[in-house]
Chain A
Amino acid sequence: MNALATILEVRGLSVSLPIGGKLTPVVTDMNLSIARGEAVALVGESGCGKSMTARAIIGLPPPGAEIAGSIVLKGQELTQLTPSERRRIGGREIGFIFQEPMTSLHPTLSIGAQMTDGLRYHLGLSRTAALERARELLDRVGIPRGRDILAGHAHQLSGGMRQRVVIAMAIACGPSLVIADEPTTALDVTIQAQVLDLLARMREELGLAMLYITHDLEVVADFCDRAIVMYAGDRVEDGQPEQCLTRPRHPYTSGLVAAIPRMGGTSARLSPIPGQVPPVGAWPAGCRFAPRCAIADEICATRPVFDAGVRCWRPLASPAP
């Protein structure tokens, strides 16, 4: 993999939000890089900072957020851009797919109007040209009769169809990176598989770099080249999904894997991780996982450094050579 093919390079990203009048870190020391055609999964329980990481990358954090670190997209340092330049990166260079297909499309604008807005703004297409392009895009994401769909509204479409439309919008202006924030969570299982297939196909056909946010490591194991496991705003493990599943190195990853329900498994012995995720603002000073970790030691009162793919003083197995 050569350096030129690196699409996104995030270094030392921290996001702090004003919570209860105090600036509170919700993501710390985030590093990640995604190459052309590569898919990286961001995995972790609810509230660990996955969406906030994504929102920082696309430049749409909540009001009052403070962002530190470097975000480089195709060699361009995004944190140095003026707000309006930064804004234009979205849609043009980065496509974003949201979790809720039922509410992420506008309720009263036609599908056509929503799909063509970005095309006309970023690519300067005429109305008719943009509509024609939108129809092609719909065709591409597996929606026939595009013309009818474009004239219609979101409420006339099923959840799966809406998510296809959202995917079409995300790839409309030919971005190099697509961020999908739990794009299938709200869908039926069969539809989930279809949408995942579609994303995989788009990635291959368009050579997209993809950041795929999920709380289910198993679902993305085939789909992603790398997985980053997050816990309480931290990147705790970074490796191949298969390896994370079969030979997790961080005790938290190991706990996550143990809690995955197995289909047709011999027993229903799910072992959820004991204790609870500490809320933001109440993270332990040392290892944030320490209060729940079975093998915690004195050294764990000191914050572990991220080393060899894992942020832990006492990683479990060693990685495959």
Chain B
Amino acid sequence: MIRYIGRRLLLILPTIFVPLILVFLMLRLAPGDPAAQILGDQATPDQVAALRHDMGLDQPLVVQFVFWLKGVLTLHLGASFFFRQPVIDILPSYAFVTIQVALLALFIALVVGACAGVAAALKRDTPIDRGLVALAVLGLSLPEFWFALLLIFLFAVTWRIFPVAGYVAPSEGLVASFMTIALPAIALGLRQSALMTRMMRSSMLDVMSEPYIATARAQGLPERRVVLRYALRVAAAPFVTVAGLSASHLLSGAVAIELIFSLPGLGKLLIDAVGRRDYPVVEGAVLAIAIMLAILNLAIDLLYALLDPRVRLS
């Protein structure tokens, strides 16, 4: 198990560094001069050149890269050009919002998807099954932002259950805070649960026709027990993989949906920073998202190994 974890840890390094290096190159090779941007229209070429020197932008790309890599490895991500404070101090509060939305969305997707999938499988070919499958198909065919707007229109504008937009931190009231992230999380999670429902249903149907389920039934065990203890355990394994993919998707989805709901998360921070050519913040935000994705994938792998002893041994 230790070796398994070690191998997984090695494998996540590229998933963090590849996006980072891409961002580093893209920012520096894209047209537009951040120094000029920061100083504004009135700046003289001398002032711009001085700032470029201060920021190290006049160095060759390779030198910049070495400095940058050193910074990333020691978590010295530099200071924001815009906020004029260290990036590492800015990130946590934004990351927290994104994680909150993504986790709640994942929770919704998993619970709704697992329950609906198992229910559809056990009630195979009945109206319940057909209804759930139809809903899932509908859910998958709706674009996410459209679904988000629909939810805003219904629950925030028409029925006024949730606020239309904005964010309240948990420290300022748990319920109020929950209400601000509920709608974005539902928009993300419910749509993702459609995928999970279909996945769980087919996975469950496959497993229920396996000989070991017949063995468990022939043992006289109640059907509930057969389903919960024998079938779900196996059906959940591919489900966990899909959940992992989903979670990655939800994280990027959270980043996108923050814009619709004006939530101060990593996505909004990233977009704003790109607009301001605030390199350190862009890189910091990408690093934060990459690390979160990597940790997520690692957690999924471990969960997978726990569910299936054959994975650990291979």
Which residues from chain B contact A91 at a C-beta distance below 8 Å?
218-221
- Selected from A98, A107, A169, the residue in CB contact (under 8 A) with B310 is A107
Judging by beta carbons under 8 Å apart, are B219 and A104 in contact?
no
Judging by beta carbons under 8 Å apart, are B219 and A169 in contact?
yes
Which residues from chain A contact B309 at a C-beta distance below 8 Å?
108, 153
Give B230's nearest chain A residue, CB to CB. A106
Which residues from chain A contact B211 at a C-beta distance below 8 Å?
98, 100, 103-104
Chain A interface SS verdict (over half): helix
User: Does A118 belong to the interface (CB within 8 Å)?
Assistant: yes
Tell me the B197-250 residues at the A interface (CB within 8 Å). Answer: 210-212, 214-223, 225, 229-230, 233-234, 237
User: Does B33 belong to the interface (CB within 8 Å)?
Assistant: no
A306, chain B: closest CB distance, angstroms: 29
Q: How far is the CA of A114 from the CA of B234 in the complex (A)?
A: 14
Known: A98-B214, A103-B210. A108 touches B308 (CB 8 A): yes
Judging by beta carbons under 8 Å apart, are A87 and B212 in contact?
no
Which residues from chain B contact A118 at a C-beta distance below 8 Å?
219-221
Which residues from chain B contact A98 at a C-beta distance below 8 Å?
211, 214-215, 218
Tell me the B297-314 residues at the A interface (CB within 8 Å). Answer: 307-310
Which residues from chain A contact B215 at a C-beta distance below 8 Å?
96, 98, 104-106, 114, 166, 169
Which of B211, B229, B234 has the most chain A CB within a 10 Å cutoff?
A: B211
- Selected from A58, A84, A121, A166, the residue in CB contact (under 8 A) with B225 is A121
Judging by beta carbons under 8 Å apart, are A106 and B218 in contact?
no
Judging by beta carbons under 8 Å apart, are B222 and A104 in contact?
no
Which residues from chain A contact B216 at a C-beta distance below 8 Å?
106, 114, 117
Which residues from chain B contact A117 at a C-beta distance below 8 Å?
216, 219, 221, 225, 229
Known: A107-B234, A117-B229, A169-B219. A60 touches B214 (CB 8 A): yes
B161, chain A: closest CB distance, angstroms: 42
Which residues from chain A contact B229 at a C-beta distance below 8 Å?
109, 117
Question: What are 17 residue pairs bridging A and B, where the CB atoms are less than 8 Å apart in the complex?
Answer: A60-B218, A87-B222, A91-B218, A91-B219, A91-B221, A106-B212, A106-B233, A107-B234, A108-B308, A109-B229, A109-B230, A114-B216, A117-B221, A118-B221, A121-B222, A153-B310, A155-B310
Give B217's nearest chain A residue, CB to CB. A60
Tell me the B270-313 residues at the A interface (CB within 8 Å). Answer: 307-310
B238, chain A: closest CB distance, angstroms: 13
Give A92's nearest chain B residue, CB to CB. B220
Give A175's nearest chain B residue, CB to CB. B220
Which residues from chain B contact A100 at a C-beta distance below 8 Å?
211
A51, chain B: closest CB distance, angstroms: 10
Judging by beta carbons under 8 Å apart, are A90 and B310 in contact?
no
User: Does A89 belong to the interface (CB within 8 Å)?
Assistant: yes
Which residues from chain B contact A60 at a C-beta distance below 8 Å?
214, 217-218
User: Does A247 belong to the interface (CB within 8 Å)?
Assistant: no
Q: How far is the CA of A166 from the CA of B225 in the complex (A)?
A: 19
User: Does A140 belong to the interface (CB within 8 Å)?
Assistant: no
Judging by beta carbons under 8 Å apart, are A121 and B230 in contact?
no
Q: How far is the CA of A94 from the CA of B310 in the complex (A)?
A: 32
Judging by beta carbons under 8 Å apart, are B233 and A109 in contact?
yes
